[in-house]
Amino acid sequence: MTLIRLGPDGLRASRFALSPLAETLSLLIALRCEIDRGRPGPEAQALAGWLDRDPFAAGLLRLVSATKFLPDFVAIPPSSMTTRIDDELARMRAVPDHVARATIAESRRFAWMPGGIAWADPDGVTTSAAAVFARGWQWFVEPDWPRRRAVMERDIRHRAGVLAAHGWRQAIDGIGKIRWAGPDAILFSTQTHADLSIGDEGLVLVPHTGTSGQWMCEAPPRFALVYPARGALEHLHVAAEGVAKLIGEGRARILAALADPTTSSQLAVLLGVSLGTVSGHLATLRDAGAVVGRRSGRAVYYERTSLGDALATHLG
């Protein structure tokens, strides 16, 4: 098994961050898996057409979607809540070709699908990789970034609240498949690899909006753990039946989205509707006793009551 070892200084310095690159990687892997399953949606079909025309992109995405060891240059630790995709891609391009090819070969050792790495032979490996992720960002992630960011920020706010009240053990609970394995260690994987020792720069926790997938980003002494956020985008769909028909699909979608406390502005972004529409639905749900608003600083966060929770369990 693989442990992440955190001493007191490492725990104190640990924090949350956002990564447009990690979000792009997560979505490209999900779309590539859709293609492999033979049931591609419109975005996966667009990706398939691109990969048919670009052997480098096809080889890279085949590898990262079928390995337990991501090449280091695609798994770059972010540092803050304001990380920019341009900065992450610049760091990717700065990795020398010989280093990139070495980590590609290591990644291939842990792949569970066949595939060569001849696509990585030409010069400019990381420049080409950065171009792949730049296009993936522009085509598939950037148009929906505000909504994706809202999901991730809501996850971080939830975990930060748990952290303040109970500490890191409870805040990390429910992140992917990891669990505490001792007073100073987190079990990251059941695979046998070298343990990771986190120093005084701490561990950076980075959510993404996919429903699964977690990985480490390593650039010692900096380490980041990427994990699926609570309330991922795929969970916001509500079938127009049962309780949803009774209370209305708009109000049902809001109840579904309130798995964690959320502001009206965040709900508008998450659901792709106007703030006025959200405010009207929230007023109705509040009057019915299904939601309640609680002020935190200058913002009001809405959450479900016990009645709201009961209704939400019956949403399709």
User: 182-195 in b/e burial notation, b at 16+ Cβ within 10 A?
Assistant: eebbbebbeeeeee
197 phi/psi in degrees, rounded to 5? -105, 120
Range with the lowest mean pLDDT among 78-92, 114-128, 179-193? 179-193
Q: pLDDT band at residue 182, thresholds of 50, 70 and 90? A: confident
- Distance between CA atoms of residues 48 and 235, nearest Å: 25
Query: What is the pLDDT averaged over residues 190-218?
Result: 87
Structure-block tokens of residue 171: 């805040």
SS3 71: coil
Query: What is the pLDDT averaged over residues 269-279?
Result: 87
Q: How many helices (H) and strands (E) does the chain have?
A: 14, 11
Domain boundary among 204, 228, 252: 228
Structure-block tokens of residue 54: 């670009």
Same domain, 207 and 160: yes
Same domain, 121 and 189: no
pTM of the prediction? 0.81
Same domain, 28 and 139: yes
The predicted structure's pLDDT at residue 272: 82
Instruction: Report CA-CA distances (Å) from 102 to 77, 116, 121, 219, 305.
Output: 19, 14, 11, 15, 53
Same domain, 116 and 162: no
Same domain, 251 and 202: no
Per-residue pLDDT of 34-43, as tens digits, reads 998 888 899 9
Average pLDDT, the chain: 88
Same domain, 207 and 247: no
- Cis, bond preceding 221 (omega within 30 deg of 0): yes
Range ranked top by mean pLDDT from 56-60, 214-218, 232-236, 287-291: 56-60
Same domain, 71 and 10: no
The DSSP symbol for 155 reads H
Same domain, 138 and 38: yes
The predicted structure's pLDDT at residue 8: 85
SS3 27: helix
Number of domains in the chain: 3
Domain boundary among 102, 127, 145: 145
- Distance between CA atoms of residues 117 and 23, nearest Å: 24
Same domain, 151 and 6: yes
The predicted structure's pLDDT at residue 92: 97
- Distance between CA atoms of residues 198 and 95, nearest Å: 23
Confidence check: pLDDT of 176 > 70: yes
Q: Say which residue, 236 or 132, is predicted with more confidence.
A: 132
H or E stretch including 291?
Answer: strand 291-296
Same domain, 135 and 152: no
Same domain, 161 and 270: no
**What's the CATH number where 241 sits?**
1.10.10.10
The predicted structure's pLDDT at residue 158: 84
The predicted structure's pLDDT at residue 206: 96
| Range(s) of the domain holding residue 36 | 20-145
Domain boundary among 145, 173, 205: 145
Q: pLDDT band at residue 10, thresholds of 50, 70 and 90? A: confident
User: 38-57 in b/e burial notation, b at 16+ Cβ within 10 A?
Assistant: eebeeebeebeebbeebebb
H or E stretch including 26?
Answer: helix 20-37
Share of the chain above pLDDT 90, in %: 47
Share of the chain above pLDDT 70, in %: 95
Per-residue pLDDT of 205-264, as tens digits, reads 999 998 888 999 999 899 999 999 886 555 555 655 667 777 888 888 888 888 888 889
Same domain, 39 and 140: yes
